[in-house]
């Protein structure tokens, strides 16, 4: 490899990091906008849900993939967002639109506060602490003192919002577009965050905390803030999920869901923003596919699919794409 | 006071279960440097194999040792077939494979042996001891845990293979350079973890009954025990397991929320312990050289 090649490659990757390639994103967006014209409402509902999972997984990616903090407890923040939305809509009669920012802020505060003690924990210990959070969540939601607010085991039923301004859309279609808009905003913000000075600080903390500290990065503050931002993403996702499903109940937010989000993160690619979308789709659709293959052995089929996916793409979908792109580039370069 | 004392003893007997599990977790952690999320399901599957052998009419003790042998081979096979090809994959991908293994074993066991609760025999009988505070099975289970602990300690401390396994977990590259067959050491670690899991499963099954989901909560408490005790210390894991059992039982005394939130309180305490001593109560502080 000549010096120029190296230089080009460096510039190429740097250019990529600074300006995410706009074309595939635009193409994806156009398809996503046109999709409701072509598919059934139930499939649209599933896609909407998958997008809300994708936002949650993006939150997890910011924390785990870019900041190196491990979490198996994001179902708790998802539940927090979902319950915030449900309580605001059902108890206080507030419009669903306003629940999204409030859910985000509430989750941010909780995430930040949880992030403070979590600073002292690393790797597997942090995994256990967050996992405890996930396990405790359904119990807390069911507990007596909180029952007037959360509805206990019964949960809360909420009413599906119709399209506003007399738009000629079914409520499924409207929620799809709303979620899509939120996805676009959230993903745009995440990309900007990662490419900013703050984002570089986060990545530096992940790669080498000691060097990052030597460079003047306030590790504690950034780590706790990342926990907060990650929880914010997941909380907004939870609020969207609650509005789409029209129902929240403690047993939807068990640790199994936290693990599902984690699987989505790894399958999509931990340090990839676009990978979160793939992860969301995976979390929603693969268990259904497994169930269709075999009812009795659904879990086993799911496990086998998961192992095969990891075999084919050990660094997630994003890792595979990167590999293919670099292979193609190399073939082109040798021609 | 009497009530508190009996709750503590009851806690110790459930703690014995967690200690068993915690020990198996720490073992595999020492051998492969990861927490194995499928550990509980492996133990559950082994216990089902034992149940099947007993069902076919084998006496208890031959079944016990045969199951340990089968589990050992099974553990080695899992490493060779599933994990060896993924040697260079990122750690997070490994964890996803653990989760996959969890799903496969759980649903496989349900498919083969169905989800009905089965009873599992104990070789120690169930006569109450010490004024009916613990049963002879509990005492037997705790003794077995302690025997396994001593054997393991001796294995890791005094045998060449044990030393080689510790070296592999601590520093695979250097271990390979001194001639240790790193791949086989990891496979051996898996085999041993599966075997210990089998022992734990067969000891636990008479108490909680046998069914595919029996290990889910036990695994969680086992993890908690292992982490509180310190993942680098088998003795710490056992003590941590007992401690978790006692804490869980005592938190039932907290008025109003105690009973409902037993698990939550136990976990909160564990997190509190970890924030004060992040390496666990008995763990070594691992100093990183820059």
- Tens digit of each residue's pLDDT (9 = 90 or more) over A161-196: 777 776 777 778 888 888 888 988 988 888 888 888
Q: Most A CBs within 10 Å: which of B82, B89, B100, B212, as the mutation test of the A interface?
A: B100
Residue A17 has pLDDT above 70, yes or no: no
Query: What is the helix (H) or strand (E) element at residue A182, kind and residue range?
Result: helix A171-194
Does residue B230 form part of some domain? yes
Neighbours of A332 (CB within 10 A): 8
Q: Rounded distance, CA B94 to CA A256, Å?
A: 18
Q: Do A125 and B278 touch (CB under 8 A)?
A: yes
Q: How many domains does chain B have?
A: 1
The parent domain of residue B63 ranges over: 2-276
User: What is the CATH number for B49?
Assistant: 1.10.3470
Residue A135 has pLDDT above 90, yes or no: no
Residues from chain A contacting residue B93 (CB–CB below 8 Å): 266, 310, 314-316
Dig out the tokens for B89 from the structure: 């994959």
Does residue B62 form part of some domain? yes
3-state secondary structure of B183: helix
| Å between A266 CA and nearest CA of chain B | 6
Q: Do A303 and B100 touch (CB under 8 A)?
A: yes
Q: Do B271 and A262 touch (CB under 8 A)?
A: no
- Tens digit of each residue's pLDDT (9 = 90 or more) over B104-127: 888 888 888 888 888 888 877 777
Return contacts of A194-199, CB within 8 angstroms, 24+ apart. A194/A62, A194/A66, A194/A273, A195/A17, A195/A18, A195/A20, A198/A222, A199/A66
pLDDT at B69: 93
Residues from chain A contacting residue B97 (CB–CB below 8 Å): 306-307, 310
Highest mean pLDDT among A146-155, B99-108, B136-145, B249-258: B99-108
Where helices occur in chain B by DSSP H, the ranges are 2-32, 39-55, 60-78, 91-113, 136-158, 160-170, 172-177, 182-208, 215-229, 234-250, 262-276
pLDDT at B70: 94
Q: Rounded distance, CA A231 to CA A225, Å?
A: 10
Does residue B188 form part of some domain? yes
Query: What is the percentage of chain A residues whose pLDDT exceeds 70?
Result: 93
Does residue B283 form part of some domain? no
pLDDT at B150: 85
Could you tell me if B228 lies within 8 Å of chain A, comparing CB atoms? no
> Of chain B residues 192-221, which have a CB less than 8 A from chain A?
220
Could you tell me if B251 lies within 8 Å of chain A, comparing CB atoms? no
- Apex CA B177: angle with CA B173 and CA B182, to 5°? 60
Query: What is the percentage of chain B residues whose pLDDT exceeds 70?
Result: 91
Measure CB to CB from residue A314 to each of B86, B256, B290 and give the nearest one.
B86
Q: Do A297 and B111 touch (CB under 8 A)?
A: yes
Closest-approach residue (CA) in chain A for B275: A120
Measure CB to CB from residue A306 to each of B35, B96, B264 and give the nearest one.
B96
pLDDT at A12: 44
Does residue B75 form part of some domain? yes
pLDDT at A236: 92
Residue A154 has pLDDT above 50, yes or no: yes
Mean pLDDT of B261-267: 73
CB pairs under 8 A between A and B: 128
Q: Rounded distance, CA B75 to CA A6, Å?
A: 45
Least confident of A8-12, A75-79, B200-204: A8-12
Residue A3 has pLDDT above 80, yes or no: no
- Tens digit of each residue's pLDDT (9 = 90 or more) over B220-252: 888 888 888 877 777 888 888 888 888 887 776
Please report which confidence band the pLDDT of residue B256 belongs to, taking 50, 70 and 90 as the band edges: low
Q: Rounded distance, CA A173 to CA A48, Å?
A: 9
Residues near B189 by beta carbon (within 8 Å), at least 6 away in sequence: B27, B28, B30, B31, B32, B79, B165, B168, B169
Closest-approach residue (CA) in chain B for A68: B92
Residues from chain B contacting residue A262 (CB–CB below 8 Å): 95-96, 99
Question: What is the largest distance, in Å, between two alpha-carbon atoms of chain A?
Answer: 70
Please report which confidence band the pLDDT of residue B145 belongs to, taking 50, 70 and 90 as the band edges: confident
Q: Most B CBs within 10 Å: which of A139, A220, A258, as the mutation test of the B interface?
A: A139
Q: How far is CA A51 from the centre of its chain?
A: 9
Q: What mean pLDDT value characterizes chain B?
A: 81
Could you tell me if B103 lies within 8 Å of chain A, comparing CB atoms? yes
pLDDT at A28: 80
Q: Rounded distance, CA B131 to CA B116, Å?
A: 33
pLDDT at B255: 64
């Amino acid at each position: 490899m000549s010096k120029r090649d190296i230089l080009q490659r460096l510039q190429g990757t740097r250019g990529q990091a600074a300006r995410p390639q706009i074309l595939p994103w635009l193409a994806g967006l156009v398809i996503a906008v046109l999709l409701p014209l072509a598919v059934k409402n139930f499939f649209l509902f599933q896609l909407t849900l998958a997008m809300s999972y994708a936002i949650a997984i993006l939150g997890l990616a910011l924390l785990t993939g870019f900041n190196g903090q491990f979490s198996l407890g994001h179902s708790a923040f998802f539940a927090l967002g979902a319950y915030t939305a449900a309580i605001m809509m059902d108890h206080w009669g507030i419009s669903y639109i306003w629940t999204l920012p409030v859910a985000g802020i509430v989750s941010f505060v909780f995430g930040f506060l949880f992030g403070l003690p979590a600073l002292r924990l690393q790797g597997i210990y942090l995994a256990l602490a967050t996992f405890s959070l996930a396990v405790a969540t359904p119990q807390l939601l069911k507990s007596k003192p909180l029952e007037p607010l959360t509805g206990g085991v019964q949960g809360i039923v909420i009413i599906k919002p119709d399209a506003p301004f007399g738009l000629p859309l079914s409520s499924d279609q409207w929620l799809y577009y709303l979620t899509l808009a939120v996805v676009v905003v959230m993903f745009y913000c995440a990309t900007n965050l990662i490419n900013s000075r703050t984002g570089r600080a986060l990545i530096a903390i992940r790669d080498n905390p000691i060097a990052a500290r030597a460079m003047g990065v306030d590790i504690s503050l950034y780590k706790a803030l990342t926990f907060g931002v990650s929880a914010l993403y997941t909380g907004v996702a939870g609020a969207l999920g609650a509005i789409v499903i029209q129902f929240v109940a403690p047993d939807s937010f068990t640790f199994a869901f936290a693990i599902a989000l984690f699987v989505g993160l790894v399958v999509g690619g931990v340090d990839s923003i676009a990978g979160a979308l793939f992860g969301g789709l995976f979390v929603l659709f693969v268990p259904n596919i497994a169930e269709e293959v075999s009812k009795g052995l659904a879990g086993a089929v799911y496990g086998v699919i998961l192992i095969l996916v990891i075999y084919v793409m050990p660094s997630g979908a994003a890792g595979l794409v990167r590999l293919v792109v670099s292979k193609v580039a190399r073939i082109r370069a040798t021609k | 006071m009497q009530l508190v004392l009996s709750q503590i003893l009851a806690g110790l007997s459930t703690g014995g279960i967690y200690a068993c599990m915690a020990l198996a977790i720490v073992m595999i952690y020492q051998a492969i440097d990861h927490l194995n999320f499928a550990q509980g399901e492996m133990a559950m599957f082994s216990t089902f194999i034992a149940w099947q052998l007993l069902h076919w009419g084998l006496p208890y003790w031959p079944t016990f040792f045969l199951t340990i042998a089968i589990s050992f081979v099974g553990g080695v096979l899992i490493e060779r077939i599933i994990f060896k090809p993924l040697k260079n994959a990122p750690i997070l991908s490994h964890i996803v494979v653990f989760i996959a293994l969890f799903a496969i074993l759980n649903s496989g066991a349900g498919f083969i042996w169905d989800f009905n609760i089965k009873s599992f025999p104990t070789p120690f009988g169930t006569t109450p001891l010490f004024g009916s505070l613990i049963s002879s099975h509990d005492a037997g289970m705790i003794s077995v845990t302690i025997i396994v602990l001593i054997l393991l300690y001796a294995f890791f401390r005094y045998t060449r293979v044990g030393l080689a396994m510790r070296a592999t977990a601590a520093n695979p590259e250097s271990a390979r350079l001194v001639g240790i067959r790193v791949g086989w050491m990891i496979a051996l670690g898996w085999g041993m973890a599966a075997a210990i899991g089998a022992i734990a499963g067969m000891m636990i099954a008479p108490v909680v009954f046998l069914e595919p989901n029996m290990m889910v909560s036990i695994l969680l408490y086992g993890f908690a025990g292992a982490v509180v005790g310190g993942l680098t210390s088998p003795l710490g894991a056992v003590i941590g397991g007992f401690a978790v059992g006692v804490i869980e039982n005592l938190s039932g005394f907290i008025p109003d929320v105690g009973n409902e939130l037993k698990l939550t309180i136990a976990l909160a305490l564990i997190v509190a312990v970890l924030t004060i001593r992040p390496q666990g109560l008995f763990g070594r502080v691992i100093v990183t050289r820059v």
